[in-house]
């Protein structure tokens, strides 16, 4: 896990390309939740998601160590791929990305626009990741896994910003995909010596991390099909699991219906765009009891949601699925 020195060094690489993102307490969200709610707006980065921080730090370090660096290859559902493509273009190196079949067409278009060479392979993220590993060996590209030290240090910069700028937070809710976001938050919390509790959030349809947290054993699931594609992971990353076991207060599950209601809540209360994984922390907060009088934090990790999906979600105004 990165130290404070590691995170602050990563921040220099991140801020060479982007500004810090805001953290905002929203009064209508507070009314809805019955407590003070601070939102960390990672939907305001140049790629619309927190992942760009990891890519910027990783590519800055790789290219500085190897002047003739050949390029990177990885697998993604979208935000990680945009991060690598954005950073690779800044450094003038090749970026090849593998996505699974049926991936978000808008995220695919964004990756191509940032300069990625896009391959489509496999039924889900984990099969795409395996294919990317084979291509890396065949083409001599640097395979980038979802949980590397430079990525975690880079994304931890959002947590350092948040925890330094906001008043003391009782609990922060953060989504779990492959784990860099929650682990960066744990690292920053620990580096600052804070008592803030960290709760990971997963989909009920992709709950490998929740099962693994409860059993203290690494559990894989057969499928991971969810609206919140940023959390659609079947196979937990061992290093991420170790950090989550040590540093998370809990890992909770939310349904797609609860995520959709949280997307609508963000629109109604803040007029902010949230993708599924980005809205999941709010969904988890709003189903959590004993929150009155507390100051809570939610990480809006990204706003990259397809237009047709967003229109459908906003159009469903019949029920708020328990969001008070």
Q: Average pLDDT over the chain, rounded to whole?
A: 95
**pLDDT(323) > 50:** no
Nearest to 275 by CA among 316, 304, 299: 304
Identify the pLDDT of residue 45.
Answer: 98
Identify the pLDDT of residue 313.
Answer: 97
Nearest to 169 by CA among 161, 177, 181, 180: 161
pTM for this structure?
Answer: 0.93
Is residue 157 a contact partner of residue 19, using CB atoms and an 8 Å limit? no
Mean pLDDT of 283-309: 95
List, in order, residues 6 or more apart from 259 with CB less than 8 Å away. 203, 226, 227, 228, 276, 279, 280, 283
Give the pLDDT confidence of 24-58 residue by residue, as tens digits.
Answer: 999 999 999 999 999 999 999 999 999 999 999 99
Percentage, residues of the chain above pLDDT 70: 97
Give the pLDDT confidence of 173-205 residue by residue, as tens digits.
Answer: 999 999 999 999 999 999 999 999 999 999 999
**pLDDT(316) > 80:** no
Instruction: Give the fold, CATH level 3, of 4-50+149-315.
Output: Rossmann fold (3.40.50)
* Residue ranges matching CATH 3.40.50.1100 in the chain: 4-50+149-315, 52-143
Query: Structure tokens of 108?
Result: 């695919």
Given this structure, which CATH class describes domain 52-143? alpha beta
Query: Structure tokens of 114?
Result: 């940032």
Give the whole-angstrom CA distance, residue 163 versus residue 194: 9
**pLDDT(143) > 90:** yes
Percentage, residues of the chain above pLDDT 90: 91
Identify the pLDDT of residue 126.
Answer: 86
């Amino acid at each position: 896990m990165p130290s404070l020195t590691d995170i602050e060094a990563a921040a220099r690489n991140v801020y060479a390309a982007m500004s810090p993102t805001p953290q905002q307490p929203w009064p209508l969200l507070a009314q809805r939740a019955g407590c003070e709610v601070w939102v960390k707006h990672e939907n305001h980065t140049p790629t619309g998601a927190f992942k760009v921080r990891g890519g910027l730090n990783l590519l800055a370090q790789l290219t500085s160590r190897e002047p003739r660096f050949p390029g990177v290859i990885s697998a993604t559902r979208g935000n990680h791929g945009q991060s690598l493509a954005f950073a690779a273009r800044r450094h003038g190196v090749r970026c090849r990305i593998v996505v699974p079949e049926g991936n978000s067409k808008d995220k695919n278009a964004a990756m191509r626009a940032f300069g990625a060479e896009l391959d489509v392979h496999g039924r889900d993220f984990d099969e795409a990741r395996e294919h990317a590993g084979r291509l890396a060996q065949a083409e001599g590209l640097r395979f980038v896994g979802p949980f590397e030290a430079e990525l975690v240090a880079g994304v931890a910069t959002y947590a350092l910003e948040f925890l330094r700028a906001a008043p003391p937070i009782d609990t922060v809710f953060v989504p779990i995909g492959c784990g860099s976001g929650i682990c960066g938050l744990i690292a920053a919390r620990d580096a600052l010596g804070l008592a803030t509790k960290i709760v990971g959030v997963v989909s009920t349809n992709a709950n490998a991390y929740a099962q693994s947290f409860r059993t203290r054993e690494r559990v894989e699931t057969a499928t991971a099909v969810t609206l919140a594609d940023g959390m659609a992971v079947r196979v937990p990353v061992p290093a991420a699991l170790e950090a989550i076991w040590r540093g998370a207060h809990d890992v909770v599950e939310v349904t797609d219906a609860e995520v959709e209601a949280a997307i609508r809540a963000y629109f109604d209360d803040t007029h902010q765009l949230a993708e599924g994984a980005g809205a999941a922390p709010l969904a988890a907060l709003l189903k959590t009891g004993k929150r009155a009088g507390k100051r809570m934090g939610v990480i809006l990790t990204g706003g990259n949601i397809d237009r047709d999906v967003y229109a459908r979600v906003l159009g469903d105004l019949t029920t708020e699925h328990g969001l008070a």
